[in-house]
Amino acid sequence: MKKTASKRPHRKTKKERIELEKQFLSAVLADIDNNDLRQVTEKYNVTWRQFIDKRHQALWRILQTLDLSKVIEERVEILIEESGRTHEDIADDIGTTKELYNQAQGITWIEYELSAAGVFPLIGGKTYLRELSDTYAVPLAAPEFAKQLRFA
């Protein structure tokens, strides 16, 4: 009698696993303007220990703890205060106002917060963060990636 092949799913290689982690983190980062990332990370029920890449472990832990819940107006206020200008100084300059609003959203704001926390060396730097956010952004697939991270 022949033995039948086990029905166990294919175990991912380390390279495949790291690619999956990149895609998952990219999907989470694509959702930054809509939610507080601490709440987003909770809904996936993934812990930092489930990541293989040390950079991904660090980034996940940071996203679970860093307060990114400020609304854009609060973020712009912070940027104005840090620039040493007043609202009157920038009120007349539409280009500066647009620039401040661009800096207060998306990956640019996460970069600001991570820089302020001094954690770029732990996550591979600004270039790696940009690579994650630009190359792999697929927000709707994040739950599927989370499942694969837990059981792969």
Summarize pLDDT for 34-91 with one digit per residue, the tens: 567 777 777 777 888 889 999 999 999 988 888 777 787 888 888 888 877 777 777 6
Give 81-95 pLDDT, tens digit per residue: 887 777 777 766 667
Q: What is the mean pLDDT of the chain?
A: 78
Does the pLDDT at position 151 exceed 50?
Answer: no
For position 116, what pLDDT does the model report?
87
The backbone torsions φ and ψ at residue 84, rounded to the nearest 5 degrees and listed phi first, read 80, 10
Give 9-24 pLDDT, tens digit per residue: 667 788 888 888 888 8
CB atoms within 10 A of CB 96: 15
| pTM as predicted | 0.75
CATH architecture of 14-151: Orthogonal Bundle (1.10)
